[in-house]
Amino acid sequence: MNATPLRVAVVGAGPSGLYAVEALREALDGSPAEIDVLDGLPVPYGLLRHGVAPDHVKIKKLAEAFRPLWDGAGVRFIGNVHIGSTLPLDRLRASYHAVVLATGAQLGGTLGVPGEDLPGVHDSATFVGWYNGHPEARMAPGLLTRGPDAVVVGAGNVALDVARVLTRPVDDLEPTDAPRHVLDALRGSRITDVHLVMRRGPAAMRFTPMELRELGRLDDVAVRVRAVDLVLSEADRRTVEGDRRLAILYGVLQKWAAAPVEDARRRIHLRFRSTPLRFVGDAGVEALEIVRTPPGGTADPGAGTGERLPAGLVVTAIGHLSDDSLGLPIDARTRALRNSAGRVTDAGGSPVPGLYTVGWAKRGANGVVGTNRPCAEETVAHLVDDLRAGRLDTATVLRPVDGLLATVGSWVSTAGWRTIEEAELRRGRDEGRERAKIADRAEMLAIANG
């Protein structure tokens, strides 16, 4: 290894970025290195903090596994620094031998149908960020009081999370880290019916069995499934029977469809083969118009007016994609940064020296938290290979990092975010729960710097 300390910037303090730090420290095996983990927020942990639903406490606690990283020498947190806007990527690269982009998939997918810009229609990245206390995810006052019906579009776990949070008794969420303003809004909600709209049939479900079954365990919440929606084409039947996960999910749906209709405080309606045509409303969304498709068939948007589902709130949970704010090519298939096994590539397909990527920014928005570990290990292996082969420019004198940070305004150190964490834990104890999350950026910065 080179005797000069390797200086690496990891952009993004979520699980993928922190797995990359772990893998890098292990691969360097004691060789001198300085690793800075930069994030646009004043606190680390990314989707573990702002993407995992507040009632999934065990998953959120996975952040504890990363705590030893901050206690070791050579790793520091640099928060409240926006790479691309506040700090251009080229300037960042001039202060490091290598940069690992763990920027995730920041943008929510869109349906591309009329009325999607109506007030009350939100992508899941915004809505999930709101109930998780993301400083930049703001909801209009009274959003949950516009009517008794809400629509969630999507066939994955995020769609289930949204439906569950909207229907779960607020008392169940009180012990969690959900911000107080979110708990107050959910307590005042008028929503009684959530329609979970999926464009394809049961053979295309992306749920995990644990997440789907969780809907059936909610107190005073009924899950409604129509038997007609469970009719499968022959091709879909073969798909379901040949996939253990799908077979389990299909069995759960069959039990719900056959169960007697019971009254409940709130209801979740699962609607398969329902393609959104348009959102309807004037000052805000009032309904989603859908067209139904038969088993094995396809939707015909030109077939005329479809069924209208009333909706005072709509959340579209149809995937995420990376943005192009860093000026790097986006892969049309994965909707992630163009790369070759973690090495970022240019428009011509050639690796960009010293630039790497991990996580959703590398492979697209798929997988669970643990998927990021082997993903990061693969990228770091290529980074270390490049270092050993002399493909990283370690001879050029780097610009000082401290001088770079002096130009970005108020940034948050490791000690600063720990001060924020202490304030959240203290507020939580005062409210009788483990943590009360702070969602205001200005307040977080004042605490970190105070």
pLDDT for res 1: 43
Cα–Cα distance between 85 and 107 in angstroms, integer?
Answer: 16
Residue 350, pLDDT > 80, answer yes
pLDDT for res 71: 85
Which pair of structure tokens corresponds to residue 94? 């001039």
pLDDT for res 198: 96
Averaged pLDDT, 405-410 = 86
Report how far apart the first and last C-alpha atoms of the chain are (Å, whole number). 41
Q: How confident is the model at residue 301 (pLDDT cuts 50, 70, 90)?
A: low
pLDDT for res 409: 84
Residue 105, pLDDT > 90, answer no
The overall pTM is greater than 0.85: yes
Buried b (16+ CB within 10 A) or exposed e, 123-151: bbbbbbbbbbbbbebebeeebbebbbbbb
Cα–Cα distance between 331 and 348 in angstroms, integer?
Answer: 12
pLDDT for res 300: 56
Which pair of structure tokens corresponds to residue 176? 């969690």
Averaged pLDDT, 113-134 = 94
Q: List the beta bridge partners of residue 121.
A: 314
Q: Work out the mean pLDDT of the chain and round it to a whole number.
A: 92
Residue 294, pLDDT > 90, answer no
pLDDT for res 3: 52
Tell me the per-residue pLDDT of 269-284, one tens digit each, with 9 for 90 and over: 999 999 999 999 998 9
Averaged pLDDT, 153-177 = 95
Find all residues with CB under 8 Å of 351, minimum gap 6, and list them: 340, 343, 344, 345
pLDDT for res 450: 81
Residue 347, pLDDT > 70, answer yes
Tell me the per-residue pLDDT of 40-87, one tens digit each, with 9 for 90 and over: 999 999 999 999 999 999 999 889 999 999 987 799 999 999 998 889
Averaged pLDDT, 435-448 = 95
Cα–Cα distance between 436 and 423 in angstroms, integer?
Answer: 9
Question: Which has more confidence, 416 or 305?
Answer: 416
Superfamily in which the 110-318 domain is placed by CATH = FAD/NAD(P)-binding domain (3.50.50.60)
Q: How confident is the model at residue 2 (pLDDT cuts 50, 70, 90)?
A: very low
pLDDT for res 138: 85
pLDDT for res 333: 87
Q: How confident is the model at residue 386 (pLDDT cuts 50, 70, 90)?
A: very high
Which pair of structure tokens corresponds to residue 207? 């749920």
CATH class entry, domain 6-106+321-412: alpha beta
Cα–Cα distance between 337 and 39 in angstroms, integer?
Answer: 18
Q: Which of 50-54, 55-59, 304-308, 395-399 has the lowest mean pLDDT?
A: 304-308
Q: How many residues does the chain have?
A: 450
Tell me the per-residue pLDDT of 326-345, one tens digit each, with 9 for 90 and over: 888 988 888 899 999 999 99
Residue 89, pLDDT > 60, answer yes
pLDDT for res 296: 67
User: Domain limits of the chain?
Assistant: 6-106+321-412, 110-318
Which pair of structure tokens corresponds to residue 417? 């975010």
pLDDT for res 321: 80
Closest CA to 441 of 45, 183, 136, 182: 136
pLDDT for res 305: 57
Averaged pLDDT, 179-184 = 94
Averaged pLDDT, 25-41 = 91
Q: List the beta bridge partners of residue 356.
A: 100, 343
Backbone angles phi, psi at 310, to 5 degrees: -65, 145
pLDDT for res 203: 95
Closest CA to 285 of 308, 307, 313: 313
Closest CA to 223 of 268, 274, 167: 268
